[in-house]
Amino acid sequence: MTLLWYAWVNDGLPPEVDRLDRMAAGTKSCWSVVGSKFPIAEDGLRRNPRMERDRQTLLVQLETWKARGTKGAAKRWSKDASSNALSIAQASPKQCLEDAQPIVCQISDVRYQISDIKSQISNSDKKHTLIGFAAEQDISPPRKKPASSITDSDCEIVWQIFPRRVGKKKAFILIRKAAAELAEEYEQDDPAAGISVLCERVQKFADANKTADPKFIAHPTTWLQQGRYLDPQEAL
């Protein structure tokens, strides 16, 4: 099982049995049984044929999901940018002034209403306490955050790219948070738009750790909590 895990993460095993024994203690003593499960491939690395088929199938599926997410995000961004640019280009200076006039009037009305409300609050009776007057309470209603459009399937795509998958439940929460931050960074209202960007940055992290010892690879929760997805691209 240890050798299978190493082969999955590192895209193969070294051919030397002594090295394999250091990776998974006891391998050398039972190599007569285990050896046939890890034949040497054309590139000189050992792989389990059955697991390699499953691994390649998953990699193809991940690439399909990644391309689909990138294409969808690009389509949404280009559509918004094109519609805004078209509406601005088609508007004449005179029309812009005519359209702006009602807005200016509305802003003036709002400013007058705010000033009137402030005046009413300052002139109202304040509640006495043993140590003086009570502080004024904020009367504005709490702002509601928009519901996240990031699904478990979106989180699963990102999760499968991580080179060391530990702590899935907490990682999903952090993936949603990271995707929302990236969407905000690119001025997108839909948090799901950040999933494709997050996939690219996790993939760079995974590629950089292909040959690393798994015990030194950060867990997804650690990587996400540290905000590593916001690091410069060359640092990922």
Segment 79-134, tens digit of pLDDT: 666 666 665 556 555 565 565 566 555 666 666 666 666 666 666 555 544 445 45
Q: What percent of the chain has pLDDT over 70?
A: 69
Is 45's pLDDT higher than 90? Answer: yes
Residue 44 CB partners (closer than 8 Å, separation 6+): 15
Question: What pLDDT was estimated at residue 100?
Answer: 56
pLDDT for 148 equals 63
Nearest to residue 210, comparing CAs of 67, 68, 45, 34? 45
Contact 46, 40 (CB under 8 A): yes
Q: Is the pLDDT of residue 55 over 70?
A: yes
The answer on pLDDT for 173 being more than 80 is yes
Look at residue 189 and tell me whether its pLDDT is greater than 70: yes
* pLDDT value at residue 96: 54
Q: Is residue 22 predicted with pLDDT exceeding 80?
A: yes
Tokens of 226: 């540290």
For residue 130, the model assigns a pLDDT of 46
Q: What is the pLDDT of residue 201?
A: 94
* Cα–Cα distance measured from residue 73 to residue 181, given in angstroms and rounded to the nearest whole number: 15
Per-residue pLDDT band for 146 (boundaries 50, 70, 90) equals very low
Q: Which residues make beta-bridge pairs with 40?
A: 46
Question: Model-level pTM?
Answer: 0.39
